[in-house]
């Protein structure tokens, strides 16, 4: 029996919930990756960032499976074997690496939208494939560094049948939880709020009397559509991740919160769902993504026949 519920029915419910969310995650993000990889006209710098975001989201979903689904059916080994499995699979460490890369990518996208609107002709600020060769590895390096402490301190606790964080001192655990709250929550969320506030004001509310409509109308339409899509993704990220990061931090400051309560598990499920919804946002908001996915599905259907 896992530590996070004493009820068989609740355990079954949690398993079903995570199964649905993670299947949607893997299928949806796989289609996003295939569309961008297979169709050359989709390999724009912005879409390459979305490809990186999809890969990060798939990592979140894939590595939540062992902790919240597979552990319901297999007995977790203890000892050195249990420790290794905890650090690599059942502790969800790699899932959080995906989460860190995801938020880094979202902040880069926010800056790209800002520069596209306020400095459209600035070559130094323009997102290029050469810059992506630096940005994308940087997103993963940032995330790995952020998660190194987790790989060092997480271990399997046979008394609760769960992978737990075992810190050498209380102040270290508090400091690390605050680091996560700011690095993956407060700072990126505030940056995105400031950048997108200016972008939205400029695109939708600013007086355009001095702008020639015949030359700007098509460009503005594209910018608005792309901004709607990535703004929606960013807002949903903040709504889904901030509760979990807050609960994770409070866990080390208050005895009212712990890994075993319903609030914690719910916050993890919300984080997992965040990684699942992005493909549906692309399809709903972006007609080009919608057409390409339809084309891909038609190709798959035709090849089967």
Residue 258 above 70 pLDDT? no
Does residue 282 have a pLDDT over 80? Answer: yes
Q: How high is the pLDDT of residue 232?
A: 92
Return the pLDDT at 265.
82
Q: Which residues are paired to 165 by β-bridges?
A: 154
- C-alpha to C-alpha distances, 111 to 19, 83, 130, 145, 173, nearest whole angstrom: 34, 40, 17, 22, 32
pTM of model > 0.85:
yes
Question: What percent of the chain is predicted at pLDDT more than 70?
Answer: 89
- Sorted by sequence, the CB contacts under 8 Å of residue 14 that are 6+ apart come out as 4, 5, 68, 265, 269
DSSP state of 41: G
Q: How sure is the predictor about 138, in pLDDT bands with cuts at 50, 70 and 90?
A: very high
Looking at 24-33, 42-51, 60-69, 280-289, which range is the least confident one?
A: 60-69
Q: What is the pLDDT of residue 97?
A: 96
pLDDT tens per residue across span 259-270: 667 788 888 889
Which is more confidently placed, 137 or 22? 137
Section 109-116 average pLDDT: 91
Please provide residue 243's backbone torsions phi and psi, each rounded to the nearest 5 degrees.
Answer: -60, -45
pLDDT score of 5 more than 60: no
Residues 6+ apart with CB under 8 A from 138: 104
What DSSP designation does 181 have? I
Query: In 3D, which of 200, 218, 146, 215 has the Cα closest to residue 178?
Result: 146
CB 276 within 8 A of CB 24: yes
What Å distances lie between residue 58 and 22, 28, 47, CA to CA?
8, 9, 16
Q: List the single range of 14-18, 204-208, 291-295 with lowest mean pLDDT.
A: 204-208
Over residues 45-55, the mean pLDDT reads: 95
Q: What is the mean pLDDT of the chain?
A: 85
pLDDT number for residue 302: 54
In 3D space, the residue among 57, 66, 72 whose CA is nearest the CA of residue 87 turns out to be: 66
Tens digit of each residue's pLDDT (9 = 90 or more) over 147-204: 999 999 998 888 777 788 888 898 999 999 999 999 999 999 999 999 999 988 888 8
Look at residue 210 in the predicted model and tell me its pLDDT. 45
pLDDT of residue 215: 43
Task: Answer positive or negative: Cα dihedral of 19, 22, 28, 30.
Answer: negative
Cα–Cα distances in angstroms (integers) from residue 137 to residues 41, 88, 121, 147, 200, in the given order: 23, 21, 26, 15, 29
Mean of the pLDDT values across residues 223-243?
Answer: 90
């Amino acid at each position: 029996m896992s530590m996070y519920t004493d009820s068989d029915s609740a355990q079954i419910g949690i398993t079903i919930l995570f199964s649905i969310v993670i299947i949607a995650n893997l299928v949806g993000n796989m289609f996003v990756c295939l569309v961008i990889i297979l169709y050359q006209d989709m390999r724009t710098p912005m879409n390459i960032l979305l490809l990186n975001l999809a890969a990060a989201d798939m990592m979140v979903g894939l590595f939540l499976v062992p902790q919240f689904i597979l552990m319901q059916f297999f007995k977790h080994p203890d000892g050195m074997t249990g420790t290794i499995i905890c650090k690599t699979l059942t502790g969800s460490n790699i899932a959080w690496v995906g989460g860190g890369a995801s938020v880094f990518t979202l902040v880069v996208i926010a800056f790209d939208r800002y520069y596209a609107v306020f400095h459209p002709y600035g070559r130094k600020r323009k997102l290029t494939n050469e810059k992506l060769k630096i940005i994308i590895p940087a997103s993963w390096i940032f995330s790995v560094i952020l998660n190194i402490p987790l790989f060092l301190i997480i271990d399997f606790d046979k008394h609760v049948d769960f992978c737990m964080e075992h810190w050498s001192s209380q102040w270290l655990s508090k400091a690390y939880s605050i680091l996560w709250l700011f690095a993956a929550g407060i700072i990126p969320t505030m940056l995105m709020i400031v950048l997108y506030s200016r972008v939205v004001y400029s695109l939708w509310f600013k007086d355009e009397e001095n702008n020639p409509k015949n030359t700007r109308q098509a460009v503005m339409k594209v910018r608005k559509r792309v901004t709607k899509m990535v703004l929606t993704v960013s807002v949903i990220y903040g709504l889904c991740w901030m509760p979990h990061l807050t609960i994770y931090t409070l866990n080390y400051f208050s005895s009212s919160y712990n890994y075993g309560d319903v609030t914690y598990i719910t916050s993890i499920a919300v984080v997992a769902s965040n990684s699942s919804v992005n493909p549906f946002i692309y399809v709903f908001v972006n007609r080009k993504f919608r057409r390409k996915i339809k084309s891909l599905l038609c190709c798959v259907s035709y090849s089967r026949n």
